[in-house]
Amino acid sequence: MNSVILNNGVEMPILGFGVFQIPEEETQAAVEAAVAAGYRHLDTAASYGNEAAVGAAVKASGIARDELFITTKLWIQHAPTGSVEEDTKRAFENSLHRLGLDYVDLYLIHQPLGDYYGEWRAMQDLNREGRARAIGVSNFHPDRLVDLIDHNGTVPAVNQIESHPFHQRAADQALMVERGVQIESWGPFAEGKNDVFTNPVLSTIAGEHGKSVAQVVLRWLIQRGVVVIPKSVRPERMAENLDVFDFALTEENMSRIATLDTGGSLFFDHRDPAMVSWLGGRRIS
């Protein structure tokens, strides 16, 4: 498996398996199948409600812990104790407990909302203690990312953001490269929106290489140096999504895919006040 080296030297597989929206009762079987297919990088979050099932699958797999790269995410903390730092550490312990792990490879601030400075201070402690080998953020627009970097000691290792053919984030990626932050895509297939799997440009390129549209999309992201974590509950698709290292897209293919960018989210804007309020109102420990 190809990997990237994060800004603190930690190695991260460039392709992993995401478990968002897999119902808790189906997650253990899905993750067991993914690990059996060859995935060694798993992406979950406290807010997905399936950390315990991911942990159970990891245990059942028998794979040595140090051969796996496991990410989870901190939900927005509300400081009922009066200390966001303490709440962050407690939320982290809860995630570790659910996962049945002693440490995670990557711990992300899930949303750029609430007192994420306090959260980041606590996460820097967790990183120093080795309990989170790397720490990063998710859904941070460039302005928020630069602000966090400029006023803190630790530069986030990763920023996990929406990135797919219809919202490519090339300028955001350039900024991240400049600042030493690894870009990671969520929703590489835009969850199937915009008929991505039958898109004419992607289908033509897929035909040229004897590959599927899904494989072309993942290959396109990987060739851009973007970490990808596609989700599927179907073993045949898990295998298909892993099988992207035996071909390469040409410069011309890459340029044609670049024309699909709409420059905007297909989901929601983290700067939309209604969405900020809705996300901020969710309580997850």
- Using an 8 Å Cβ cutoff, are 231 and 17 in contact? yes
How far is the C-alpha of 197 from the C-alpha of 125, rounded, in Å? 43
Give yes or no for residue 230 binding ligand NDP (CB under 6 A): yes
Give yes or no for residue 229 binding ligand NDP (CB under 6 A): yes
Please, which residue, 82 or 214, has the CB nearer to ligand NDP?
214
Give yes or no for residue 139 binding ligand NDP (CB under 6 A): yes
Q: Which stretch binds ligand NDP (CB under 6 A): 88-96, 122-130, 188-196, 246-254?
A: 188-196
Q: Which stretch binds ligand NDP (CB under 6 A): 1-9, 52-60, 83-91, 237-245?
A: 237-245
Q: Binding residue for ligand NDP (CB under 6 A) from 85, 87, 105, 240?
A: 240
DSSP 3-state of 189:
coil
Give yes or no for residue 78 binding ligand NDP (CB under 6 A): no
Please, which residue, 127 or 160, has the CB nearer to ligand NDP?
160
How far is the C-alpha of 285 from the C-alpha of 264, rounded, in Å? 31
Q: Which residue in the list 48, 103, 116, 117 is annotated as catalytic?
A: 48
- Using an 8 Å Cβ cutoff, are 114 and 280 in contact? yes
Longest CA–CA span in the chain (Å) reads 58
DSSP state letter for 8: T
DSSP 3-state of 74:
strand
Give yes or no for residue 20 binding ligand NDP (CB under 6 A): yes
Please, which residue, 20 or 117, has the CB nearer to ligand NDP?
20
Please, which residue, 96 or 244, has the CB nearer to ligand NDP?
244
Please, which residue, 81 or 140, has the CB nearer to ligand NDP?
140
In angstroms, the Cα distances linking 113 to 16, 49, 74, 94 are 26, 20, 11, 20
Give yes or no for residue 87 binding ligand NDP (CB under 6 A): no
How far is the C-alpha of 202 from the C-alpha of 212, rounded, in Å? 9
The C-alpha angle with vertex 279 and arms to 278 and 280, in degrees rounded to 5, equals 90
Give yes or no for residue 24 binding ligand NDP (CB under 6 A): no
How far is the C-alpha of 232 from the C-alpha of 196, rounded, in Å? 15
Q: Which of residues 100-119 bind ligand NDP (CB under 6 A)?
A: 110
- Using an 8 Å Cβ cutoff, are 244 and 199 in contact? no
48 has catalytic annotation: yes
Contacts with ligand NDP, residue ranges (CB under 6 A): 18-21, 43, 110, 138-139, 160, 186-192, 197, 214, 229-234, 237, 240-241
